[in-house]
Amino acid sequence: MRPTSRLSLALTALLCCALAPGLALARELPDFTALVADNGPAVVNISTKQSASASQRLRDIPIPELPEGSPLEDFFQHFFGEDGQVPDDTFQSRSLGSGFFVSPDGYVLTNSHVVEGADEIVVRASDRREFVAKLIGTDKRSDIALLKVEGEGLPAARIGSGKDLAVGEWVLAIGSPFGFEASATAGIVSAKGRSLPTENYVPFIQTDVAINPGNSGGPLFNLQGEVVGVNSQIYSRTGGFMGLSFAIPIEVAMDVVNQLKTTGRVSRGWLGVLIQDVTRELAESFGMSQPRGALVAQVLPDSPAAAADLRPGDVILSYNGREVLTSSTLPPLVGETPVGASADLEVLRRGERVALTVRIEELPEEEAVAGGPAPTDKQPANQLGLVARDLTPELRQQLGVEQGGVLVEAIDPGPADDGGLNAGDVILMLDNQSVGNLDDFNRILAAIEPGRPIAVLVQRGDSRMFYALRIPKS
């Protein structure tokens, strides 16, 4: 064999070795073609029509005063009329979203916000058939809506389990982003159990699947072709996809579907507490080795939590045997508990573990707490760098504080300011002890050893929250 031939063979072998990992990786990437072909027909496009009067559209536009004979006079008379009133014409607005058949007899699942305020809902299937849908019901807390169209033998999606998903697993979305029907996008599960500010009772699935306006209400599939979630929200600064998409777990969605089918409404379990995360500083003040659990900042009156003797300052560590790692873990667990059922809690109370049993009630339509601020004369600041005073009956009524507490009248530079307290706050607990009045507050404060972190329960407006403060060593 000639030297050049041997050199060519060596280079070829070296090139194959270099390409082998890439070729192996390419072979391991999923092929979504069969999944899209099999499940695409179950996905529908949803458009809505909403009637609104022109006066509703233009009611916030100020009408300028024009000099007589102005060339703009005819323009404004055309839209506002000669008497300055907007004509009561109507217009049609359309919204676009996605959905999917959950049964062959025509039940369609989508997002509540897709059909909100609609006068007419049109469902268009992948074979171009169009149906006028009936709205069976909606649930704003989970952003789920159930529709019904007349039909038989419709291509229903297979329902899977969001609980079985693993972070890093491949998933596929099919929907109508920006109105482009039957668009498929793929990605991986980025995280599970995400809590968003507007939906505390939904443990969202976070993905990096490209979801855009119009994908809302469409299905999220696993590689087995099962629906594991309902695409609902994106995180974006521009209105377009930025790598953070959120889907409602299919178990949550189907529970809502079943309740809407049977009763026309959705009920959820209610504990009656306001909670927050345990920070590293708060964990240290409670004698915990690491931050975990849901810290009870407020127990609502006449609630299941109040009846079970749950107290502010308790840290809920487990709920019905399921570990509560963060505060966002708790609401979905409570929400899925049947109304009237009992739940076992393990709480940390002043360094000791306490077992409680609570009877779960139905989540009311609105959970409200009253409040508002009002300070007066300034006194010398204490070692926390704040001035406190007793609450008068008038202040209690104004701030919504039934008993106990002291008002933060002023804040100077110091631990309270560094820890985030404000003038107008009401301190209800200090160092895990209830503050009944100013004498209690001063007594507890005098016994605190400098340098040790302390937890302070504060009511501010409508909410209560713990803050961690540390009195510096002199």
For residue 375, pLDDT over 70 is answered with: no
Ramachandran angles phi, psi of 32, nearest 5°: -90, 0
Per-residue pLDDT of 314-362, as tens digits, reads: 999 999 999 999 888 899 999 999 999 999 999 999 889 999 999 999 9
Out of 21-25, 346-350, 401-405, 417-421, the most confident range is: 346-350
Give the whole-angstrom CA distance, residue 462 versus residue 363. Answer: 19
**Among positive and negative, which fits the CA dihedral 452, 453, 455, 456?**
positive
Domain architecture of the chain: domains with CATH: 40-58+72-148 (2.40.10.10), 158-262 (2.40.10.10), 269-362 (2.30.42.10), 386-470 (2.30.42.10)
For residue 24, pLDDT over 80 is answered with: no
Paired tokens of 303: 């609630």
Average pLDDT of the residues of the chain: 83
Per-residue pLDDT of 282-294, as tens digits, reads: 998 888 999 999 9
The larger pLDDT score, comparing residue 168 to residue 399, is at: 168
Confidence of residue 77 (pLDDT cuts 50, 70, 90): low
For residue 52, pLDDT over 50 is answered with: yes
For residue 130, pLDDT over 70 is answered with: yes
User: Which amino acid is it at 356?
Assistant: L
The pLDDT, as a whole number, for residue 5 is 59
Verify whether residue 463 is a known catalytic residue: no
Verify whether residue 78 is a known catalytic residue: no
The pLDDT, as a whole number, for residue 58 is 46
Confidence of residue 371 (pLDDT cuts 50, 70, 90): very low
According to DSSP H, which parts of 301-373 are helical? 304-307, 330-335
According to DSSP H, which parts of 198-357 are helical? 250-262, 280-285, 304-307, 330-335
Residue 407 CA, chain-centre distance (Å), reads: 32
Of 113, 126, 417, 434, which is the active-site residue?
113
Question: Which residue's structure tokens are 């008002």?
Answer: 407
Residues comprising the chain, all counted = 474
Per-residue pLDDT of 417-463, as tens digits, reads: 888 888 888 999 999 898 988 988 988 888 888 888 889 999 888 78
**pTM of structure:** 0.68
Paired tokens of 297: 């900042």
What share of the chain in percent tops pLDDT 70?
Answer: 80
Mean pLDDT, rounded, for 97-108: 96
Of 95, 216, 318, 328, which is the active-site residue?
216
Does residue 424 contact residue 255 with C-beta atoms inside 8 Å? no
The pLDDT, as a whole number, for residue 418 is 86
According to DSSP H, which parts of 100-209 are helical? 112-115
Of 139, 143, 314, 431, which is the active-site residue?
143
The pLDDT, as a whole number, for residue 90 is 55
Mean pLDDT, rounded, for 204-215: 92
